[in-house]
Structure 1
Amino acid sequence: MDIIGSLLGMIILIPVFILITVLIKLENRNGPVFFKQVRVGRNGKEFTIYKFRSMVSNAEELKMLLLEQNDIKDGPVFKMKEDPRVTRIGKFIRKTSLDELPQLINVLKGDMSLVGPRPPLPEEVAQYSSYEKQRLKVTPGLTCYWQVSGRSNIGFDEWVRLDLKYMEERNMIIDLKLIFKTVFVLLGSKDAY
């Protein structure tokens, strides 16, 4: 399902990939189109995740100056509703999660699945409790219960609870429901930033 789904998605979305690439380059000709970052996958194995770049090129350096403004107060995840590092096109592709589309490459490579807990950063995992580390027992995914249940409005504790719920319940029917629900949530999303 992952291989067929990611291949079909990449073929169908070629025009979207081209349009986003052009818009990113129009906003910043010298900046890269893609953002690459190390994430933690199944059983703690690290891999490189791909996204369309939605922030200024030096966003990782600027993050250290913004840590006190984190909107997620419980847990190690950093998110800001009005993040000054986000570009104009970045605001749109983040709100609609179009910035995540290059992760279809990660699914094709086997680093990720279409459905599963979102892959965390190594510095987040370093702060995990043993309870939270249970998220790492399955292959991370493009979408999950968190993605369709409020996203950035959900605290980290609830996020982990939803991931563990998915791990207990997962099957092909739930995966298909989450994939279809994700499409509809993203089209009208107000909870992503």
Structure 2
Amino acid sequence: MFRVLDFVFAFLGLVCGFPVLLIIFIIGLFDTGSPIFRQERVGRNKKPFVLVKFRTMSVDTASVASHLASTSSITPLGGFLRKTKLDELPQLWNVLKGEMSLVGPRPNLYNQEELIAARDKCGVYDVRPGITGLAQVNEIDMSTPELLAQTDAKMIASLTLANYFTYIIQTVSGKGSGDRVKG
């Protein structure tokens, strides 16, 4: 049932949001010259997939978790996109393709070994990663791997249709601050 909802909402989001996506893309061309950010992430069953987002950091920023990147890497447009969470919109394509869900654990990088070990212990990789979830709306990010893995496992075990919509509504209404970036 969640997969059907994911597909329908991702499709509608991409179709209805196309004008916004196009405007952000064009502004992004002037901001960084490369408005789309692609990065290999750990997916369901630890299979790799390429996550797609709007670029919020300069092109030469190291490929590390957000909490390890410097705030000086964030571009002016990127700051706005992060604050409004509009940088996440292209991930609807990942959801449409079945690589992600709207609700699930945020996909991590392969070099985040401590998080991978903690998530392995909790069975987090048994589900599709998501755009939002319990950890995101409670401002728990990848800088606290054990807590994140436990929160992800709790969300997976208790995910209901009501929780699915609750996490989406809380995210859209601005709850949670997204991934932290060090000062």
Shorter-chain TM band: 0.7 to 0.9
8 Å contact kept, 1:95–1:192? no
Structure 1 residue 168: Cα displacement? 0.7
- TM-score normalised to structure 2 length: 0.84
Partner of 1:150: 139
Structure 1 residue 33: Cα displacement? 1.5
Superposed CA RMSD in Å reads 2.3
In structure 2, runs of 5+ residues without a counterpart are none
CA 1:44–1:14 in structure 2 vs 1: closer, same or farther (change >3 Å)? Answer: same
Identity across matched positions, percent: 33
Residue of structure 2 aligned with 1:51, choices 47, 50, 53: 53
CA 1:138–1:54 in structure 2 vs 1: closer, same or farther (change >3 Å)? Answer: same
Partner of 2:102: 114
1-side partners of 2:55 and 2:83: how far apart?
A: 13
Letter in 1 for 2:36: F
Letter in 1 for 2:151: L
Per-residue displacement from partner, 1:134-161 (whole Å, max 9, x unpaired)? 2211110111111111245973332222
Partner of 1:181: 170
Residue of structure 2 aligned with 1:22, choices 21, 26, 35: 26
Residue of structure 1 aligned with 2:157, choices 162, 168, 179: 168
- TM-score normalised to structure 1 length: 0.80
1-side partners of 2:20 and 2:145: how far apart?
A: 31
Residue of structure 1 aligned with 2:10, choices 6, 9, 22: 6
Letter in 1 for 2:147: E
Equivalent residues in 2 for 1:98-137 (5 A)?
98-124=86-112, 126-128=113-115, 130-133=117-120, 134-137=123-126
Report the count of equivalent residues: 174
In structure 1, runs of 5+ residues without a counterpart are 64-76
